[in-house]
Amino acid sequence: MGLLTKAAAVVVPIGLVVGGIAYGVSRHSSSSDSTLGECTTKVHGLSVVLTARQARNASLISAISIRRGLPAHAATIALATALQESKLYNLRGGDRDSLGLFQQRHSQGWGTRQQILDPVHATNAFYDALVRVPGYDTMPVTVAAQRVQRSGFPSAYAVYENDARALASALTGYSAAAFSCHLAAATGTPAPAAQRAVRMRRALAPAFGSTQVSVASGSHLDVAAASPTRGWALASYVVSHASALGVSSVTYAGRSWTAGNDKGWQSGATGSAAVVVVD
């Protein structure tokens, strides 16, 4: 079974702890908002449920692999490592001087404390080390992760391999419409479209690099997608960051996601695979 894998009638207990880090999410079937704040990935019959914070970190790790032109296997390795080391939380402490998503150590040359606590720096540092491992792209996940991390528990990464593979497939865009979040609907008056476009470009830049974002008719934002896989990766990333960006809906390739409900991606929407439409 995968991390936080769920099926009908499965209850995930509050405060589930593995390796000393709590990563469980509560389930209250009596409430219509029981899944509020959760993000779910469904790939080949496996469901992985994360908190919104975990999902934002997972989407960043996956997007940076795309920006660097790495295979999805690299994202799987990085996600399995972060799941084991921090449960995808940006921890401000750990064993000895370990910090951050990957529990990297200043004393081992991973950067300053401030750098390691920056998820963008930490992720790039992990990939910098990974690509120096000969043949990492065909190695078993746990072997490649251990070559980078030099952990005292090298077999532990294997526990998270299936979850990491599902997350990587969804968040790098290979599994279409496989990732969604149940987030509260945006409130208040939206900012002018031009301001939202600038904000969107800035939000996407650390993950995907320079990305074309334009204002379309109706004050929608069009985020350019060079391919369907990149389009779904962008769409998933925007959904995972929707609360911070004030996003109410995302439409791509005939499907739409809407904040405020837990229905995931719904078919029947208009639009092409050339742009991700954001409201």
- Cβ atoms of 102 and 119 closer than 8 Å: no
Run of H or E residues at 224: strand 221-224
The per-residue DSSP string of 6-55 comes to --TT--PPTT-EETTEE------TTSTTTTTTEEEEEETTEEEEEEHHHH
pLDDT at 268: 85
Q: In this structure, what token pair is assigned to residue 255?
A: 């499907």
Please spell the DSSP secondary structure of 105-145, one letter per residue: EGGGTS--HHHHTSHHHHHHHHHHHHTTSTTGGGS-HHHHH
Q: Which two tokens stand for residue 68?
A: 């660097």
Q: Residue 144: what pLDDT?
A: 96
How far apart are alpha carbons 177 and 232 in whole angstroms? 7
Eight-class DSSP state of 94: -
11-67 per-position pLDDT tens digit = 222 232 333 233 444 333 334 578 999 999 999 999 999 999 999 999 999 999 999
CB 12 within 8 A of CB 25: yes
Q: Which residues face 252 on adjacent strands?
A: 255
The pLDDT of residue 272 is: 80
What residue ranges do the domains of the chain occupy? 1-175, 184-278
The ranges of the chain with pLDDT < 50 are: 1-31
Can you read off the two tokens belonging to residue 83? Answer: 């799941």
